[in-house]
């Protein structure tokens, strides 16, 4: 094994372990577009579960699970798209995202945890179980909107 190959292999392994789907961005505006697209997907699919929880659409465990699968796959992606230079432009992200970076990260972890619990609840197929986990998950969305997003 050449040293170059070994180096490349170790780097690939380390990078993949750190963040499996980390996107690379050419320009700050690409990064802003990316995170907004991810939030749009989350809102659409989370909203479909919410509609069932609020009885606006009929409860369907399979449909709920399919929607939560999208939320679970996408929810962590925006957190890696608030890099340097993406505080300006077509964004409502408040300066607190960067000035209170630890709080922002903690809010993201809280969201992740609540989404995980909601995903598990949806997999039980029981609407009451889903109802109990939905509110806490929605509140983590709201917390971030209140503290880190302009109105």
List residues binding ligand ASC (CB under 6 A): 43, 46-47, 50, 138, 141-142
Nearer to ligand ASC, 107 or 141 (CB): 141
Query: From the CB of 120, what's the least distance to ligand ASC, in Å?
Result: 19
For 89, list phi and psi in degrees, rounded to 5. Answer: 115, -150
d(CA 130, CA 137): 10
Nearer to ligand ASC, 51 or 61 (CB): 51
Which helix or strand (DSSP H or E) is residue 49 part of?
A: helix 28-53
Query: From the CB of 10, what's the least distance to ligand ASC, in Å?
Result: 40
Nearer to ligand ASC, 142 or 151 (CB): 142
Nearer to ligand ASC, 46 or 148 (CB): 46
d(CA 4, CA 8): 6
Residue of 48, 20, 24 whose CA lies nearest to 122: 48
Query: From the CB of 44, what's the least distance to ligand ASC, in Å?
Result: 8
Query: From the CB of 111, what's the least distance to ligand ASC, in Å?
Result: 10
- Would you say 75 and 115 are in contact if contact means Cβ atoms under 8 Å apart? yes
């Amino acid at each position: 094994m050449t040293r170059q190959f070994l180096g490349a292999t170790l780097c690939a392994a380390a990078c993949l372990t750190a963040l499996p789907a980390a996107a690379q961005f050419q320009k700050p505006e690409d990064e802003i577009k990316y995170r907004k697209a991810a939030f749009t997907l989350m809102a659409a699919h989370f909203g479909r579960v919410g509609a069932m929880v609020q009885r606006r659409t009929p409860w369907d465990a399979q449909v709920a699970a399919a929607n939560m699968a999208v939320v679970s796959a996408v929810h962590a992606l925006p957190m890696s798209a608030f890099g340097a230079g993406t505080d300006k432009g077509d964004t409502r992200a408040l300066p607190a995202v960067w000035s209170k970076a630890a709080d922002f990260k903690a809010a993201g972890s809280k969201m992740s945890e609540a989404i995980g619990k909601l995903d598990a609840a949806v997999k039980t197929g029981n609407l009451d179980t889903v109802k109990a986990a939905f509110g806490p998950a929605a509140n983590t969305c709201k917390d971030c909107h209140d503290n880190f997003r302009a109105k």
